Structure formats: C-alpha cells, structure tokens
Structure 1
C-alpha cells in the first residue's frame, strides 16, 4: 500500500473492491436473525460486473451489504460502471437502481 504526500494510505479502486469483498466474509445475517435498514439507498463500491450482449449484472458492496442488480449493458456503458468505482444502489420494491457517484 502506498502513501500520499500527507502520509495518508492510498489504494486503487480495484484493490479497494477486493478489500471490501474480503471484509464481507462472515458479515451476513445468521439465518433467523432479523436485520433491517432504515434507508433505501446503499452507497458502496462496485465489486463485480458481468456483461452480456444485452444485459449486465452489477454487484455492489455497501458495508456488510452485497447488492446485485440486473440492468442493460447500455446503462453500464453509459454510467461507466466498472469494478472499483463508487456507486449507490437505490432499492424500491423489487427493483434496484444504480447511480454513479
């Protein structure tokens, strides 16, 4: 890990995505344990993108939460969604919308 001129640690987006996935191990709720969120948006980092000819699957790690969204390939391209970028997943009913931050 590198440091900037002020002594702060610096890590690239891909490395940060790998770090977030490693930290996620064991953070998911235990079956039968109830967890809830008071907000409907989850800011996080993109940890995986799977792209097909028409559709794409995007995974976002937001703290202990892993969110997966299916959206068009065109939307992924237009938003510049890639592993390591920050994004916000917005949840309404069964739909997850992603905003690039």
Structure 2
C-alpha cells in the first residue's frame, strides 16, 4: 500500500476521541485530534490537526503555539466558533 492510499485509509477509519478538556464553553463545534503539521515563522504559525476524518487548519501566533506546547503528535482540540462562513467563486457567485 503506498503512502497516499494509507493516508486515505487512515482518514476513513479515524474515530474522533472524546474531548479531554471538559471545559464549559459556548462553542459547540469542538474537534479533538492530533497535531499533524506546524509551519511557523517568528510571528505567525499554521497548525494542522487531524480530527477523525476531518482536517482542521488554524492560523495563530507563533507565541500561542509555544504557550500551548503544540508539537507534532500532540493532542489538541479545535474549537470552531463562527457566525458565518461564506463560499465565493471567481465568477462572483456566493452562498449569501
């Protein structure tokens, strides 16, 4: 099995672990997963989580990455709190 096929199998078989934080927050969209990628410079960082079958990407300060102790393979929870997500196309169409 090649790497791409293995990645697809892993994603399809993945189960969301139980949220270990048990912190009371108003955000209902919480995805527990493993840190699978960190790309950072001195100011900003892009952190990737594999949360079951879902890939979640977050942009944050490099300082926040250090303060949270995030590193490849660590467990983290993506908390998504947004009022609106709008998808647009180059032709000017949108979901509004």
CA gap of 1:45–1:71, structure 2 versus 1, over 3 A, is: same
CA gap of 1:24–1:93, structure 2 versus 1, over 3 A, is: same
Match of 2:44 among 55, 66, 76: 55
CA distance in 2, matches of 1:54, 1:22: 35
Aligned residue pairs total: 64
Match of 1:24 among 11, 26, 42: 11
Runs of 4+ displaced beyond 4 Å: 19-22
Match of 1:40 among 15, 26, 29: 29
Pairwise CA RMSD of aligned residues? 2.4
Give 1 or 2: higher strand fraction. 1
CA distance in 2, matches of 1:21, 1:71: 27
Match of 2:56 among 55, 63, 67: 67
CA distance in 2, matches of 1:79, 1:41: 17
The 8 Å contact of residues 55 and 73 in structure 1, kept in 2 or not, is answered as: yes
Give the alignment of 1:2-13 within 5 angstroms: none
Superposition TM-score, scaled by structure 2 size: 0.59
- Structure 2: gaps (5+ residues): 1-5, 15-27, 84-96
Superposition TM-score, scaled by structure 1 size: 0.56
1:80 partnered with 2:80: no
